[in-house]
């Protein structure tokens, strides 16, 4: 999940009878599975929640380039390097699709950047963990992008049209990311004992943060109900987390790895795995800005923005000059 | 926020596509950069062979609330469809 703990207005969900006619018509369209489009009326809370969620998702794509970008210059083969470059380029594209989707809700991209840089907007907790070895790049593709897909596939049916359409495009590309990550790990576990140990170590460090990507458990997730009523969100956090564990544990076994959870056990009755509780204190700490890399990530973003100001301004000045020259030439020709 | 780059809408004609389709939007200082960025963002996987970019501010759109007045009248004009007219079988293919 690339958007966690998205705040929704209101304390409880109102019934159709309590709504004014406009809101009621809106809710009925959502209930009927119709898409809401940019120019249409929507409740203010719906608009705000979407801006929070989509921009948080976009910020995650952008900040998510940093942990992986960390290994571009050190990728072990030229082929792996080219693949990693393509992947990081995709992330930039995903950020762009999402910012554009959010912009249809009457907020500008620069405004969203400003909220990120001033810590008013969040990004996924996962990108506050460091990439310490090459195996981490494989683990991110397999686990982090895997968790993202789990969350994003249902978002293709989200009630807000532009977000749903961005998700269709993104999901196609995410599955390239997940496969390339798994491919890295498959190669490594068949390699030397040192390579295999490196993979196990990566799994040990990324497993729990990946589970936390789905957000706090359902009873602690105060904002979910309204998001689900508006069909911004399709599944509960715990539902998606369970699905992720059920899908991922066999893949870990295939790689010959041990999932770092002593409570992990197949439960025949429910047809899924039982698993331990993530460290929620750590989660809330990371979300609050106190994770291992929060400061580093944000500083890198801010520095890129500030140091790039003269370049952006230069391009604008150039565009203006060319436009003026063209206008003058047109006048002269007439 | 004063120097924000303008928004451009991107249209791409696919490999075997007949017409340009709207695929998304992006920010760029001018048309040339908008096309360059559209190439990188929207055709990384061979999605198209032609790109149009248009300043978003140049686009006028109909409002969803006008749906009735705009589109309803055509429903009563069934004779606009070729299937409305019965041609005798003897006439053959027409």
Q: Report, as an integer, the average pLDDT of A202-213.
A: 97
The pLDDT tens digits for A136-151 are 999 999 999 999 999 9
User: How much is the pTM?
Assistant: 0.90
Interface test with A, best of B2, B10, B23, B25 (most A CBs within 10 A): B25
Cα torsion B83, B87, B92, B94 to 10°: value is -50
Q: How sure is the predictor about B1, in pLDDT bands with cuts at 50, 70 and 90?
A: very low
Percentage of residues of chain A with pLDDT beyond 90 = 84
Residue A320 tokens read as 């203006």
- Model confidence at A8: pLDDT above 90: no
Pick from A178, A177, A157, A179: which is nearest to A168 by CA?
A157
pLDDT of the residue at A11:
62
ipTM of the complex, rounded to two decimals: 0.80
Q: How sure is the predictor about A39, in pLDDT bands with cuts at 50, 70 and 90?
A: confident
How many residues make up chain A in this entry? 334
Residue A75 tokens read as 């990728």
Q: Strand pairing of A265-267 and B20-27?
A: unpaired
pLDDT of the residue at A98:
95
Q: Which chain B positions have a beta carbon within 8 Å of A109's beta carbon?
A: 4, 27
Residue B58 tokens read as 């140049």
- Model confidence at B65: pLDDT above 80: no
pLDDT of the residue at A176:
87
Chain A residues whose C-beta is within 8 A of a chain B C-beta are: 37, 39-40, 86, 89-90, 92-93, 96-97, 100, 103, 108-111, 114, 166, 169, 312-313, 315-316, 318-319, 322-323
How close A173 comes to chain B (CA, Å)?
10
Chain B residues whose C-beta is within 8 A of a chain A C-beta are: 1, 3-5, 7, 24-27, 29-30, 33, 40-41, 44, 61, 63-64
The pLDDT tens digits for B32-53 are 999 999 999 999 888 888 999 9
CB nearest A100 (choices: B5, B24, B30): B24
pLDDT of the residue at B51:
96
pLDDT of the residue at A320:
93
Q: How sure is the predictor about A54, in pLDDT bands with cuts at 50, 70 and 90?
A: very high
Task: Round the average pLDDT of chain B to a whole number and report it.
Answer: 89
Residue A40 tokens read as 């249409």
Report yes or no: A1 and A215 within 8 Å, Cβ to Cβ.
yes
């Amino acid at each position: 999940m690339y958007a966690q703990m998205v705040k929704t207005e209101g304390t409880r969900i109102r019934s159709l009878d309590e709504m004014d006619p406009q809101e009621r018509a809106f809710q009925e369209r959502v209930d009927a599975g119709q898409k809401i489009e940019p120019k249409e009326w929507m409740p203010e809370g719906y608009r705000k929640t979407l801006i929070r969620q989509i921009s948080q998702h976009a910020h995650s794509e952008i900040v998510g380039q940093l942990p992986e970008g960390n290994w571009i210059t050190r990728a072990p083969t030229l082929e792996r390097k080219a693949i990693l470059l393509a992947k990081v380029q995709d992330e930039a594209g995903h950020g762009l699709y999402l910012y554009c989707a959010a912009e249809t809700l009457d907020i500008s991209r620069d405004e969203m950047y400003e909220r990120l840089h001033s810590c008013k907007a969040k990004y996924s907790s996962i990108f506050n963990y460091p990439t310490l070895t090459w195996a981490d790049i494989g683990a991110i593709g397999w686990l982090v992008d895997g968790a993202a897909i789990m969350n994003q596939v249902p978002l293709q049916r989200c009630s807000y049209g532009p977000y749903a359409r961005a998700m269709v495009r993104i999901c196609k590309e995410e599955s390239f990311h997940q496969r390339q990550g798994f491919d890295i790990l498959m190669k490594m576990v068949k390699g030397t004992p040192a390579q295999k140990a490196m993979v196990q170590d990566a799994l040990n460090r990324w497993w729990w943060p990946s589970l936390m990507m789905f957000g706090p458990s359902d009873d602690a997730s105060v904002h979910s109900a309204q998001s689900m009523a508006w069909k911004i969100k399709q599944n509960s956090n715990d539902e998606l987390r369970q699905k992720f564990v059920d899908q991922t544990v066999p893949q870990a076994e295939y790689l010959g790895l041990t999932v770092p959870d002593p409570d992990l056990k197949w439960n025949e009755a429910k047809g899924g795995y039982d698993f331990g509780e993530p460290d929620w204190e750590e989660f809330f700490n990371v979300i609050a800005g106190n994770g291992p890399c929060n400061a580093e990530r944000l500083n890198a973003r801010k520095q890129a923005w500030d140091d790039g100001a003269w370049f952006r301004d230069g391009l604008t000045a150039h565009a203006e000059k060319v436009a003026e020259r063209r206008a003058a030439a047109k006048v002269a020709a007439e | 926020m004063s120097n924000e780059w303008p928004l451009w809408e991107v249209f791409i004609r696919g490999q075997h596509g007949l017409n340009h389709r709207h695929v998304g939007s992006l920010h760029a200082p001018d048309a040339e950069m908008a096309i360059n960025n559209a190439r990188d963002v929207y055709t990384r996987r061979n999605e198209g062979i032609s790109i149009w970019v248009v300043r978003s501010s140049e686009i006028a759109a109909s409002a969803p609330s006008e749906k009735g007045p705009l589109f309803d009248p055509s429903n009563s004009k069934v004779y606009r469809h070729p299937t409305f007219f019965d041609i005798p079988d003897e006439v053959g293919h027409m």
